[in-house]
């Protein structure tokens, strides 16, 4: 398959976990009705972004993967004939938790999960209190509509993550994300931060010759102290924006991408062909050997 219809769901969240899941289901239906074949939901979409505080009560939000949420999404994927990328708070075992994304294929099959590798610890982003770094390595998933790679939010700042995932055969890189502005900041700071966030991900598209899809949440949280900036986007293998969402509205959008363009971009701009295994050494060898 050369052309793939990518659905992006950018939405606000509430403190009601069930309501958030039902909202995501309805918006996935909306994306499918618009022709989406792969639907990507934002990071931790079943809750508010709870990592703004270190609170033991928030561990109650976690769930098994596969589990109740993936069961519902699997049935939905099968019903609609779409691939669903779902970022969830995983309870792996008693006292052991991950920031995890599950992938459900278009026939409802649970294909597996990726556990976030890079975990931030900044003011209002206290993720190390909640999440153990991923132990599954980087992952690709062979879906009905192409081979996809999943990375999660903070992973986006690290070129090694995108390079390794591309070397493993990912035709599209997806980044479910939750990032925003402190409402106390000035507009110049907001613009600079958003541009840095978008630019680093577009650079992964260029360096690896793949489309990049980044889906962020939107809306005010933390009693108005944080404005999640939306701005979800799709970039082609040259970093050109095919779509960019607003900074303050919920949006369900479907963008057509042509994954055969990867071959042309990589042929004429051969960053990936010149892999320099000698200099990357053990950073990449394990993944290349497995791909």
User: What's the pLDDT tens digit per position in 136-191?
Assistant: 999 999 999 999 999 999 999 999 999 999 999 999 999 999 999 999 999 999 99
List the catalytic residue out of 127, 153, 171, 221.
153
**Judging by DSSP bridges, how do beta strands 110-115 and 121-122 pair with one another?**
unpaired
43 catalytic residue (yes or no): yes
**Two tokens at 247?**
């900074």
Say how far apart CA 256 and CA 242 lie, in whole Å. 9
153 catalytic residue (yes or no): yes
Neighbours of 240 (CB within 10 A): 11
Question: In the chain, pLDDT over 90 holds for what percent of residues?
Answer: 88
Contact between residue 139 and residue 112 where contact means Cβ atoms under 8 Å apart: yes
List the catalytic residue out of 27, 40, 43, 221.
43
DSSP code string of 47-91 = S--GGGS--GGGGGG-B-SSSHHHHHHHHHHHHHT-EEEEEEEEE
34 catalytic residue (yes or no): no
Residue found under tokens 């010149």: 274
Mean pLDDT for 198-219 is 97
- 283 or 124: which leads in pLDDT: 124
Residue found under tokens 């998933």: 141
pLDDT digits (tens, 9 = 90+) for 17-33: 999 999 999 999 999 99
Long-range residue pairs from 25-30, CB within 8 A, at least 24 positions apart, any chain: 25/72, 25/73, 25/76, 27/250, 27/252, 28/73, 28/76, 28/80, 28/82, 28/84, 29/76, 29/80, 30/252
pLDDT digits (tens, 9 = 90+) for 39-67: 999 999 999 999 999 999 999 999 999 99
Ramachandran area for residue 157 (φ above 0: left; ψ -120 to 50: alpha; else beta):
alpha
Q: Which whole-number Å values give the CA distances from 248 to 170, 181, 219, 229, in the listed order?
A: 31, 12, 6, 7
pLDDT digits (tens, 9 = 90+) for 229-250: 999 999 999 999 999 999 999 9
Residue found under tokens 């907001």: 190
List the catalytic residue out of 23, 27, 116, 227.
116
| For helices 17-33 and 68-80, angle between their N-to-C axes, nearest 10 degrees | 20
């Amino acid at each position: 398959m050369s052309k793939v219809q990518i659905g992006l769901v950018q939405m606000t969240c509430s403190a009601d976990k069930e309501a958030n899941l039902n909202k995501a289901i309805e918006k996935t239906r909306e994306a499918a009705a618009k022709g989406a074949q792969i639907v990507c939901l934002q990071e931790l979409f079943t809750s508010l972004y709870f990592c703004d505080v270190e609170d033991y009560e928030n561990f109650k939000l976690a769930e098994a993967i596969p589990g109740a949420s993936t069961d519902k999404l699997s049935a939905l994927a099968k019903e609609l004939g779409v691939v669903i990328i779902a970022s969830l708070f995983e309870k792996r075992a008693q006292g052991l938790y991950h920031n995890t994304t599950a992938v459900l294929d278009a026939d409802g099959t649970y294909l597996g999960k990726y556990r976030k590798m890079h975990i931030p610890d900044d003011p209002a982003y206290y993720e190390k209190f909640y999440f153990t770094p991923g132990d599954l390595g980087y992952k690709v998933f062979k879906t009905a509509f192409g081979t996809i790679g999943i990375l999660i939010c903070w992973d986006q700042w690290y070129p090694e993550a995108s390079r390794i995932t591309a070397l493993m055969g990912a035709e599209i890189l997806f980044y479910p994300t939750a990032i925003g502005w402190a409402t106390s900041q000035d507009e110049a700071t907001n613009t600079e931060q958003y541009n840095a966030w978008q630019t680093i991900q577009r650079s992964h598209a260029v360096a690896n010759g793949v489309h990049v899809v980044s889906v962020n949440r939107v809306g005010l949280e933390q009693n108005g102290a944080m404005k999640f900036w939306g701005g979800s986007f799709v970039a082609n293998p040259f970093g050109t924006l095919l779509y960019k969402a607003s900074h303050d509205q919920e949006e369900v959008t479907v963008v057509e991408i042509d994954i055969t363009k990867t071959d042309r971009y990589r042929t004429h701009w051969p960053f990936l062909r010149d892999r320099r295994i000698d200099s990357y050494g053990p950073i990449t060898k394990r993944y290349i050997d497995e791909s």
